[in-house]
Amino acid sequence: MNDNLDFGIKDKVAIVAGGGAVGHEIGNGRAASILLADAGAKVLVADKEELLAKNTFQMIKDRGGEAKYISGDLTKSEECKKVVDFAISNWGRLDILDNNIGIASKLSVVDEKEENWDHVMDVNLKPMFLMSKYAIPEMIRSGDGGSIVNISSISATRPKGLTTYSASKGAVLSLSQAMAVDHGVDGIRVNCILPGPVYTPMVYYPGMTKSHRSQRQDASLVQIEGDGWDIGKAVVYLCSNWARYITGHLLVVDGGCSLSVKPRG
Ligand SMILES: NC(=O)c1ccc[n+]([C@@H]2O[C@H](COP(=O)([O-])OP(=O)(O)OC[C@H]3O[C@@H](n4cnc5c(N)ncnc54)[C@H](O)[C@@H]3O)[C@@H](O)[C@H]2O)c1
């Protein structure tokens, strides 16, 4: 076994937008933050909730990693610029951006309120657009290309009762591929992850019964209920040198949920 396998993440500077999670629980953004730091990146954890970002920062520090945290509502242009500037002023470069922010919405177009449609679209798309807008020029300036991962959902391609959410996550697919086309020439790879149902606090805090959990497990072809670590590992892979020939890719991480068909009878 070769202990010197180099994923090319050591000493890279990463921003995770939406890197907090409730308490000390593991959401997709917190898992990605921790695992990027484990792989040697300097990680700036950015979140609307300062305490949640700070908790992720502390968890990284406790594992011996290097991190900082910053709070801000990343639907706002000036806040996104502040996050990118903070990474540059601390570490002088930028290589990785994980655009993780997303909120759900459960209603059909008939029942959805117009204000909520606007809100979900705003939260699920604006931070990706704005963070990338400010991050890409810094990645180019840093001189080593870069890697951006946008978090979508299998709801983008297999909608199931989450109409506004599905529409917003569908837009994330196109945005990711368009960004990959625009910035490949700059050495910047842009990929997109479509998580299936993963057990994160955003999902289980509103309340989840045992039977709901076992339904989620049964939906997977491999009978596994995924968690934030599964998504974080996919983020690390896509940001690593091992994925240097992968861009514009839509990576489904769902244990086969989107292929499973309910048994007849
Ligand atoms: N959990 C799932 O089953 C699942 C499935 C498919 C896709 N996803 C996607 O994965 C991503 C992460 O989901 P999660 O459940 O792991 O959540 P998470 O635990 O990673 O939490 C998301 C974080 O984003 C932050 N945030 C929300 N709005 C923000 C804003 N305007 N500015 C800055 N920060 C903000 C929240 O405070 C929270 O800490 C989302 O995009 C979600 O849509 C999740």
* Cα-based torsion angle of the residue sequence 237, 27, 14, 98 in order, rounded to the nearest 10 degrees: 70
CB 191, CB 245: distance < 8 Å = no
Segment 114-145, tens digit of pLDDT: 999 999 999 999 999 999 999 999 999 999 99
Looking at residue 260, its pLDDT comes to 81
pLDDT at 265 over 50: no
**Mean pLDDT value across residues 246-250:** 98
Say yes or no: CB of residue 47 within 6 Å of ligand 1.
yes
* Cα-based torsion angle of the residue sequence 114, 118, 120, 121 in order, rounded to the nearest 10 degrees: 130
**Ligand 1 atom with the shortest distance to the CA of 28:** 16
Q: Is 126 a catalytic residue?
A: no
Tokens coding 199: 């057990």
Segment 8-19, tens digit of pLDDT: 999 999 999 999
Assign 262 a pLDDT band (cuts: 50, 70, 90): low
CB 220, CB 157: distance < 8 Å = no
Task: Domain 13-252: give its CATH superfamily.
Answer: NAD(P)-binding Rossmann-like Domain (3.40.50.720)
The rounded distance, in Å, linking the Cα atoms of 138 and 140 is: 5
The rounded distance, in Å, linking the Cα atoms of 50 and 56 is: 10
Q: Which among 157, 146, 161 has a CA at the least distance from the CA of 243?
A: 146
Say yes or no: CB of residue 45 within 6 Å of ligand 1.
no
Q: Which among 74, 71, 11, 73 has a CA at the least distance from the CA of 43?
A: 11
Say yes or no: CB of residue 56 within 6 Å of ligand 1.
no
Q: How far is the CA of 203 from the centre of ligand 1 (A)?
A: 9
Q: Is 152 a catalytic residue?
A: yes
Q: How far is the CA of 6 from the centre of ligand 1 (A)?
A: 29
Instruction: State the distance between the two ends of the chain, measured CA to CA, in whole angstroms.
Output: 49
